[in-house]
Structure 1
Amino acid sequence: MMHENQTLTIGRALRVLEERLRPAVHSRPHRLQLASHVVGGEPIPVTEGLAADYEPIGIGAWWGRAWDTTWLRITGTIPAEFAGRRVEIVADLGFDVNMPGFQAEGLVYLRDSTPVRSLNPRAQWIPVTREAAGGEAIEYFIEAASNPVLLDYHPFLPTEQGDWSTSSEECLYRIRRVDVCIFEEEVFELVHDIEVLLQLAQQLPADSTRRARILRALDESLNRVDLQNVSGTAVAARDELREVLASPAEASAHRLTAVGHAHIDSAWLWPLRETVRKVARTSSSMTALLDEDDEFVYAMSSAQQYDWLKRARPEVYARVKDAVAAGRFVPIGGMWVEPDAVLPSGESFIRQISYGQRFFREEFGIECRGAWLPDSFGYSGSLPQLLAGSGFDWFLTQKISWNQVNRFPHHSFLWEGIDGSRIFTHFPPMDTYNAQLSGEEVARAARQFKEKAVASSSLAPTGWGDGGGGTTREMLARGKRMADLEGSARVVFESPDAFFDRAMAELPSPDVWRGELYLELHRGTFTTQHKTKQGNRRSEQLLAEAELWGSAAAVRAGYEFPHDEIDELWREVLLLQFHDILPGTSIAWVHREAEERYAEIARRTEAIIAEALATLGVILDATDGSAVTAADSSANASARAVLVNAAPVAWNGAPASSAILAPVAIGAAAARREGDRFVLESGQVRITVDTNGHVLSALDLASGREAIPAGGRGNLLQLHQDFPNMWDAWDVDAHYLGMREDLDSGAHVELDDHTIVVRLAFGESSIEQRLFLDDDGRTLLIDNTVEWAETEKFLKLAFPVDVFADHAVAETQFGVHSRTTHTNTSWEDARFETQAQRWFLVEEPGFGVAFLNDSSHGFDVSRVESDGLVTQLARFSMLRAPKFPEPRTDHGTQTMRFGVLVGADVASATEAGWRLNMPARTGHGTPIAPLVSSENPAVIVSAVKLADDRSGDLIVRVYESRGGRGRAVLRLDVPGLRSASHTDLLERAREEAAPLALQQDDGAYSIELTLRPFEVATVRLSR
């Protein structure tokens, strides 16, 4: 009977709360007048919107085409009977309360351009006055964005709304109400008294004393409510709940830090320009809420988002800057954006931090202490070194809780990277970065916290994200009631740094997780939207090259290094590395714009490179950065070399000196037809191809070792059905492996000079491949041009490998990681699709085959048994064709280059990966000696640049690439050197580091370094 009565009480309380109490928070509505100004095209400046001509519009009117802006003007008068009361406007523009952040939003302004707050589905109110006199005039303006709803409640359906050119012309929203009302403060408080106690009771055991007493108190409270006079009886109803609300939490109660937050994707189901407005709306609301509540602390990541405010909405930024100075609005994360955490290069990670921290330092006089990446799709094992080496104390993410199969064993722990660096890491056990502080969420955090035996603290990023408005006053009301409440975790609003200080003190010896944090989800992001990934790779390389040549020209020839332009270009690249752009998971508009931006980045960096080289006395034959063709490669074989971090350059037929690769002179590769076979042969390898373009043999001539197992076919295109369980552009689910079509017939194959050309049509698509030997004489290069028109398909390129190995090794940022090729455990089985930077390697002692890419990160390696022998099947992931959020993902012409290096190990794979990704250039003029070169081939010079502080000092970044301890002498051909010193990754002096002795011999300088396995070292050369 008791259980039945409890159920009745819960049902009664829920209905009264939703149908009577919440609607009574705003009472005595009086309709206001509304007028509109429709903007066609891109948004207009605020001053222009305020001064526009407005036409009357009525309640019930439809407004807002997809991606359009409508300025609304609200006018009227506060009724005289509202005197002495708090007054607010309730404006429902057609919102769906279940879709905050994914539909219409607005930013409210006063006539003088003062921002008031955002208007969105979960905050449909505008503050007017805390104490009305009665009779005051009302005038507010709303910059309302009619963003289309692209994310449906559960299915992710193809949509044409993802680009302005294909979106609907129909109005999407209908105005429901615009009323001036009294805000009933006691009713608001009663709502949250009841809500918090009701949600707590639902989490307690059915037979607990605490639950029974809460439900009894709720019954008594509801008995005091007059449903026809809620405001008049709210105080009496609250009195019945005071005792149960005052009962303190247990001494051992979990402590939950609620950090005000709004995870705003810098682009996703909206274009970049709309994110600027989402940030402005949310920041406006959060600064207003800080004024309302002295205990509230709000945190926002991404220097880019602050910079957008500064440039586009200075009226909002001024309020943010004041709140930052007061310590209430807290910059976090220390990066330019929240990037993808596996696909960018190591240098890009460093620049994310250096540009982010520079902005926060220059604008606010602070640096962030921790990295904040709650939503990125897995985390490279290189990251701990890059974070710790940049001065961070802690790291936060939540995304690993999304794993499909395995539950991660920790919430607070030390994360150890590939080089042994460690950083304190926390996963919020609430399993969300958009917490609402509901009773269920708070109970879940306490229940799931893995370290509860030795610690009691966890963090909850609290607020609606993506333009949903951030933290709400309702969340604050819930949090205050749970500050010290029996049966609940203790909730406190404080900064992330305060939380991490306490969490680290609680856990002086945390458990350790070694290596990458692989996300068992979103594996398709290694491949989706290939042109975006291609643009990123090329931009990273061009910027590294521009910095190198610009630095060389500056220190040797007085070139005026373009600091401002290089900074601007880097920030553009860093923005496009955001975790819904680079992974390929945004709408068509975003990726179309990304391709345009990458083209402009290439144009500008090529111009810098050409100008710097001209200053050094070298004129390039071309500045398009295109890779050499097979015919070019034989002609220039003796002249090409890699110059530090730059593209290979031929100077009048004489090789440039090399800091990474010594130039190798080899004979031209032969290409011939032998019956029904085609053969590519150098002095080192022989590649045999059949009439369907399949590689039947890849023979290492020096060892006599065959890379292709008997009966195997390399260069085999395989097409899979690709329809994941949920997230189209994001996911590749394991069932795709059971649906495969081998494209093993119907090809047309012919010789074209030194190249084997393969053409094949399949489905609605076609491919042309050009197979030839690189001028190293060992690497089979495969240039692919695909006319891609498939839907929900996944294209792979397969190579069987006659190697016995338990692991495949892949390049990651500044090193390598390994993957098992077997599936002994559920953790190993879940890693059926993974990623590499420039190469992956299948190797047994003495022999291996490396697979190189110029822009395609995804791959898989599996074990194959035949006739009692186990071999490996290595596959490049080429293209996908998901339909959401872009229904024509990757359709059109796609180009990519792959390489297959026979007889490879980590050293040669690293070398070949650099070669493949540094397109050759030819020119004429004076040979250029490298600024910096390493005498140890395992220690790679990865970046040479002028110092960020514009002192003229030279910064050199090197890393140990093979996983062993490395001693290296760096040769420095830099005029006027005065000293050399260690710095951290942000170019700040490392006080604990031993000084570097600068040696001089016949006018040349050198320094000696000793590096740990995979260590990244940064050196400042002062002139």
Structure 2
Amino acid sequence: MAHNRMHAKLAKLKKDCPESYWGKRILAQLEYANRVSLAEDHKFDVLIEEAADYLGRRLKADGAIGQSAVSEAEQMLAGIAAEAKSYELICAAHAHIDMNFLWGWDETVSATLNTFRTMLDLLKEYPDFIFSQSQAAAYQIVEKYDPEMLEEIQASVREGRWEVTASTWVEADKNMPNGESMVRQFLYAKQYLAGLFNLDPGSLQIDFEPDTFGHGANVPETLYHAGVKYYYYCRGHNNEGHHLYRWVAPSGRSVIAYKEPHWYDSRIEPEMVLTVPAFCKQTGMKSMMKVYGVGDHGGGPTRRDIERVLDMQTWPIFPSIRFGKYADYFALTDQVADQLPVVSNELNFIFTGCYSSEARLKKANRVSENLLNEAEAFSSAASLWASAPYYGKDLEDAWRKTLFNQFHDILPGTGIPETRDHALGMSQEIAAMANTKRSAALRKLASRIDTSAYAVDNENIKDSISEGAGAGVGVMHLSRTGESDRGRGKTRIFHLFNSASAERKEIIELILWDWNGDLRNIVFQDDEGQQVDYQFVDRGFEEHWGHFFLRVLLPVTVPAMGYATYVMTEKDGDMGVLAADDYYLTGQNLPPEETYSFVLENEHVRAVLDTQRLTLVSLVDKTDGTELLDQGGSGALFRLIEEDSHQGGGNAWLVGRYRKVESLIEGVHVERIDLGPDRLRQSIMFSMSFRSSKLKVTVSLDRGSRRLDFAAECDWHEYGKNHAFTPQLQFILPLSYECERYKYDTAFGTIERAAMELDVPANSWATGLPRQEMGADKKAVTLVTDSKYGFRGTGHSLAVTLLRGSYSPDPYPDTGIQRFTMGVCIGDPCDNQALIEQAYNYNHPMIPISVAAGPGEWPARQSFFRLDEGTAAVSAIKMPEDGVLPKRWIVRVYETAGRETQVALSLFRSIRAAYFVDTLERSTNEGVVDILDSQLRFSLPANQVASLCIEFH
């Protein structure tokens, strides 16, 4: 009751008191004193009430509260002054600079430089002022565009007046980038900043993420390996409502997390102190941090902010206020680290529209990550086995661009057209660099393979035109290598390269360029001379800039992280010349027969499509005859959804309530059918128009596969409007079994979530988990994608958001042709390693290289690296950043099953030494690596990431 009475008196004073400095000053002190008393069991209520009554009388008598009244009231409150000052508020300055948010790159550069100039001027004027700044990319802007300013910043860093809070390249999204991207944020930022400012990388201990839209569960594990101890953020949920706590990853590794109690983009105001006593009581500390400074367009602390801090330092009934650094505050949290509450879940979900807005940016990110993974792996192999140069700095530059594009307003798709255009331009540079280095490595490896046995001495190649054929074709959309050498003559040699750590058996597509033999006499053989089945994809040669190509499907087996060789030649026999456009008469591609059932079936899967609507109505696991799709509805299909548009715009951030759902089942046109048990790949192509858009889909099933593939091309012209709706294209799979939970892949692992009526993030796939009582051997359906991140598991169904016509900030985000693929897979939902491997293979197709016959010392089939044992997945194979010794690899793995495992790796070359390293590739004492010639073994605890440096003889 006394507290309520006090609150009412203070409220009346505030209401009746005219605006003035002295009035604000004493009212702020009274309110703060009241909070201190509340934290101390109302110890000072009497003093505060007496002072409030006195001020009420003075206000009534004088009509205002002036300096004399304030001085008297402060004297009356002297008994609480010591307790008030026992609390400390550290004011940490920051300028939040969004990279290309509602402006383009040129404005980002201008905002950065102008902000830093202002801060340097204020540092000169106010000797006690301290400034902190995050994001390595911001410092790179200064280095590139204003090197003289960089010298001033470097001097301020040396003086301890400018704190470098960056430990990441940018303040990145923490849900969609894969684990390796998260590692590279720290690796390249710390490496760069340590050199730029002569800092110990170990001193960069804060991951500063004030505006990031949610935070994945394995962030603490990644921070641990990067030597980062503290995590600052503002947006994100922890169900317990803590502001200071220990955030624990599934591995058990943890960081101290500080969730901003106010707002990161704020000013210095007297009201900021009111939460200090309660915060300190909750945390067991006597200090709290106030983050201040103007953003998101930079600016930083203002003169008024600094002057207010200096003034409030003199107020007697206020906390001790000082300028300080983030590191100052976090160092104090170490003293209560063992007493902090524990949070062990992901900090999601914030802004679920960000997982699907701006589809091109999502695809660019996936392609960038995939290409860099392969470029580094094959370049490492070529450097070690073929003495090829390793272009580490070039790959680092491509990584930096990739990391920049993962900024929390770029990858999430919450920018303007200029934001998107700049990111897509950079993604082309990334692809060019990664593809170039990958191609160079593959050519170097291929040059060592002995193919002299396939040379034909009497073969006439003088009329060959295949040199230069298809130069660069397919690179943009298919991530092919774009090789210049396509072989020559009638004997063609193909090396198939596999970047995965396990052997793969798949059907792949080869392109045969400018071949002038008899198509009826084509023969494919593996490296042992065994004949291999094949299937033509098209009905003849296609023309490409004066060259002609033919696509062929071939079942191949390629060893782990290695290659296999396949040869195409012409068998003996003279059957006459076959016109290219008539070759279907050979029986390889006969005109379709009339059919009234659309069934794609192999030894593992039977899939049935509705003949009128082309929806997937049945998916049977033939191993036990289980039907995996719900038989009570329309089947798996594409849907056009109208989302409620949120008032005030900003719907790129938010997926609205589904106000209307339209199944795309009308007017479906079948364009091509290629069915039959003899086919390597069975397929049906169909198209449909809806509103202003058109969708073309090819559904296919390969021999031996447990995955039904959907390849889609959508000409999208659907646009949302404020106060109306936001259009969305979605694919949904209604399942035949009840889902207890849903599993998704995340950075360095998987996560299970309950059913939710909202989009949730995943790196590439989602699985519906059957209820436990259905049996441990129950098969489940996984939906894997090549470029999508927003999934929805609810109502015993899986759905993925494909395109959205959000109108703000970008009014036309996905206009035009959009290409994407999905796979509907049948498998064991408990085998995380298999699920992760399946997704890796889906996103990393094997790479064919066509070469001419020649001598070499290597066999026709070889592996460079293989995961032999352990529930682990490989995240990266690369050369060390220091580039000192050429015969070293960095290999990064992570545990997938949630239990300790023994990992065995074969490297097919004698190993001299192997040891664990951290993110910065420095030796650690994490454990022991056992070496036996070319194999190494080590223990990998549950859910942990491990990086190894391997030295070869």
What TM-score bracket applies, with the shorter chain setting the length? 0.7 to 0.9
* Aligned equivalents of 1:616, 1:396: Cα separation in 2: 46
**Equivalent residue number for residue 228 of structure 2:** 392
Which of the numbers 168, 176, 194 marks the counterpart of 1:361?
Answer: 194
Residue pair 2:368, 2:402 contacting (<8 A) in 1 also: yes
Alignment of 1:1-20 (within 5 A): 10=14, 15=19, 17=20
**Offset at residue 916 of structure 1 (A):** 1.3
The match for 2:293 among 453, 459, 463 is 463
Question: Does the CA contact (< 8 Å) of 1:333 and 1:373 recur in 2?
Answer: no
For 1:442, which of 273, 276, 279 is the aligned residue? Answer: 273
Q: Is the CA contact 1:416–1:512 (under 8 Å) kept in the aligned structure 2? A: yes
2:338 counterpart of 1:414: no
Answer yes or no: is the 8 Å Cα contact 2:502–2:559 preserved in 1.
Answer: no
1:817 aligns with 2:751: yes
Aligned to 1:712: 633
Output the amino acid matched with 1:410: H
Deviation at 1:221, TM superposition (A): 10
Contact 2:18 2:64 in 1 (8 A): no
- Per the alignment, residue 780 of structure 1 pairs with 708
Please tell me whether the aligned partners of residues 882 and 889 of structure 1 are also in contact (alpha carbons under 8 angstroms).
yes
Give yes or no for contact 1:523–1:833 (8 Å, CA) kept in 2.
yes
Give the letter for the 2:360 counterpart.
K
CA contact 1:793–1:881 (8 Å) conserved in 2: yes
Change (3 A) 1:638 1:324: closer
Q: What's the CA shift for 1:670?
A: 13
Separation in 2, partners of 1:645, 1:219: 84
What is the CA deviation profile of residues 563-593 of structure 1, one whole-angstrom value per residue up to 9, with x for unaligned ones? 2211111111111110000000011111012
2:897 to 948, 962, 978: 962
Would the aligned equivalents of 1:815 and 1:1014 in 2 still touch at CA under 8 Å? yes
Partner residue, 1:505: 335
Cα displacement string for residues 15-68 of structure 1 (whole angstroms, at most 9, x for unaligned residues):
5x5xxxxxxxxxxxxxxxxxxxxxxxxxxxxxxxxxxxxxxxxxxxxxxxxxxx
Which residue among 389, 402, 405 is the counterpart of 1:573? 402
Q: CA distance change for structure 1 residues 674 and 907 in 2, over 3 Å: closer, same or farther?
A: farther
Q: Quote the offset at 1:444 in angstroms.
A: 4.0
Query: Conserved in 2, the CA contact under 8 Å of 1:669 and 1:682?
Result: no
Which has the higher relative contact order, 1 or 2, with Cα contacts under 8 A spaced 6 or more apart?
2
The 1:675/1:216 distance shift into structure 2, 3 A limit, reads farther
> Equivalents in 2 of 1:492, 1:215: separation in Å?
32
Cα 1:359/1:4, change in 2 over 3 Å: closer
- Indicate how the Cα distance of structure 1 residues 820 and 8 shifts in structure 2: closer, same or farther if over 3 A, else same: closer
Matched to 1:728, the amino acid is G
Structure 2 CA distance, aligned partners of 1:258 and 1:528?
Answer: 36
Q: Distance in 2 between matches of 1:669 and 1:441?
A: 75
Q: Deviation at 1:800?
A: 0.6
Task: Give the conservation status (yes or no) of the 8 Å contact 1:265–1:275.
Answer: yes
- What is the aligned counterpart of 1:680 among 585, 592, 600? 600
CA, structure 1 residues 617+259, in 2 after alignment: closer, same or farther (shift >3 Å)?
Answer: same
Aligned to 1:862: 794
CA deviation profile, 1:647-698 (whole Å, cap 9, x unmatched):
9989985557533799999xx9999888543111111101100121200111
Paired residue for 1:896?
820
Deviation digits for residues 725-778 of structure 1, max 9, x if unmatched? 555344335x61343222232212343433211211112111111110246511
**1:351 aligned to which of 179, 184, 202:** 184
Residue 692 of structure 1 contacts residue 758 of structure 1 at CA under 8 Å; is this kept in 2?
no
Structure 1 residue 885, shift from structure 2 partner = 0.7
- Specify whether residues 369 and 328 from structure 1 end up closer, same or farther in structure 2 by C-alpha distance, changes over 3 A only: same
**Cα distance 1:929–1:720, how it changes in 2: closer, same or farther (>3 A)?**
same
Encode CA deviations 1:513-572: one digit per residue, 9 max, x unaligned: 1121113x3000000001001001101111111111111111122212112211111111
Counterpart in the other structure of 1:946: 879
Q: 1:743 to 1:359 in 2, by over 3 A?
A: same
Question: Residue 770 of structure 1: SS of its match in structure 2?
Answer: strand
Q: 1:669 to 1:493 in 2, by over 3 A?
A: farther
Cα 1:662–1:545 shift into 2, 3 Å: closer
Corresponding position: 1:554 with 2:383: yes
1:921 aligns with 2:847: yes
SS state at 2:842 partner: helix
CA deviation string 1:223-265 (max 9, x = no partner): 799xxxxxxxxx9999889858987352586533210111111
Would you say the 8 A contact 1:671–1:751 is kept in 2? no
**Which whole-Å CA distance do the structure 2 matches of 1:3 and 1:710 have between them?**
63
Amino acid at match of 2:878: K
TM-score by length of 2: 0.77
* 2:953 maps to 1:1018: no
Instruction: Verify: 1:798 aligned to 2:798, yes or no.
Output: no
Secondary structure, in 3 states, of the residue corresponding to 2:633? coil
Verify the 8 A CA contact 1:901 1:909 in the aligned structure 2: no
2: CA distance, partners of 1:880 / 1:208: 58
Cα shift readout 1:884-917 (whole Å, capped 9, x = no counterpart): 1111121111111111002343343222211210
Matched, 1:749 2:677: no
Distance 1:582 1:558, change over 3 A: same
Task: Out of 701-710 and 530-539, give the one that drifted further.
Answer: 701-710
Corresponding residue for residue 911 of structure 1: 837
Q: Distance in 1 between matches of 2:426 and 2:627?
A: 44
DSSP-derived class of the 1:898 partner: strand
* Correspondence for 1:104: none
**Structure 1: which 5+ residue stretches go unaligned?**
18-190, 226-234, 630-634, 822-828, 864-871
User: How far is 1:10 from its partner?
Assistant: 4.8
Alignment counterpart, residue 219 of structure 2, candidates 371, 380, 383: 383
User: Letter of the aligned partner of 2:273 in structure 1?
Assistant: V
CA distance in 1, matches of 2:315, 2:650: 43
- Of residues 622, 628, 649, the one that matches 1:701 is 622
Give the whole-Å Cα distance in 1 for the aligned partners of 2:497 and 2:125: 66
Are the structure 2 counterparts of residues 312 and 628 from structure 1 closer, same or farther at C-alpha, using a change threshold of 3 Å?
A: closer
Match of 2:809 among 880, 885, 894: 885
3-state DSSP of counterpart to 1:739: strand
What pairs with 1:620-659 in structure 2 (closer than 5 Å)? 624-625=474-475, 627=478, 641-644=498-501, 653=526, 657-659=558-560
1:140 is matched with: none
Q: Separation in 2 of the partners of 1:220 and 1:299? A: 47
Separation in structure 2 between the aligned mates of residue 669 and residue 332 of structure 1, nearest angstrom? 63
Q: Deviations over 1:624-647 (max 9, x none)?
A: 455599xxxxx9999785544999
Among 838, 854, 861, the residue aligned to 2:764: 838
* Shift in CA distance, 627/285, structure 1 to aligned 2, threshold 3 Å: closer
Q: State the match for 1:1007 in structure 2.
A: 936
Q: CA deviation at 1:411?
A: 1.1
Task: State the distance in 2 between where 1:489 and 1:672 align.
Answer: 83
Cα offsets for 1:266-292 (capped at 9, x unmatched): 120111221122111111121222222
Q: CA deviation at 1:407?
A: 5.9
Partner of 2:654: 732
- C-alpha contact 1:709 1:800 (8 A) present in aligned 2: yes
Answer yes or no: is the 8 Å Cα contact 1:853–1:897 preserved in 2: yes
Tell me, what secondary structure is at the counterpart of 1:452? helix
Identity between Structure 1 and Structure 2 (%): 25
- Whether the aligned pair in 1 keeps the contact of 2:603 and 2:704 (CA below 8 Å) is no
Cα deviation, 1:484-523, whole Å, max 9, x if unaligned, reads 756644433211112112122134232211121113x300
Report how many aligned residue pairs link the two structures.
Answer: 802
Q: For residue 932 of structure 1, what is the aligned residue in structure 2? A: 865
Could you tell which deviates more after superposition, 837-846 or 436-445? 436-445
1:125-204 to structure 2, matched below 5 A, reads 195-200=24-29
> Cα 1:541–1:485, aligned 2, differ >3 Å: closer, same or farther?
same
Paired residue secondary structure (1:306): helix
Instruction: Name the amino acid aligned to 1:1016.
Output: V
CA-atom RMSD, angstroms?
Answer: 3.7
2:691 alignment partner in structure 1? 763
Q: 2:6 touches 2:49 (CA, 8 Å); kept in 1?
A: no
Shift of 1:195: 4.5
Q: Does 1:514 align with 2:344?
A: yes
Give the Cα separation in 2 of the matches to 1:331 and 1:762: 52
1-side partners of 2:728 and 2:148: how far apart? 48
Aligned match for 1:539, one of 361, 368, 373: 368
Shift of 1:712: 3.3
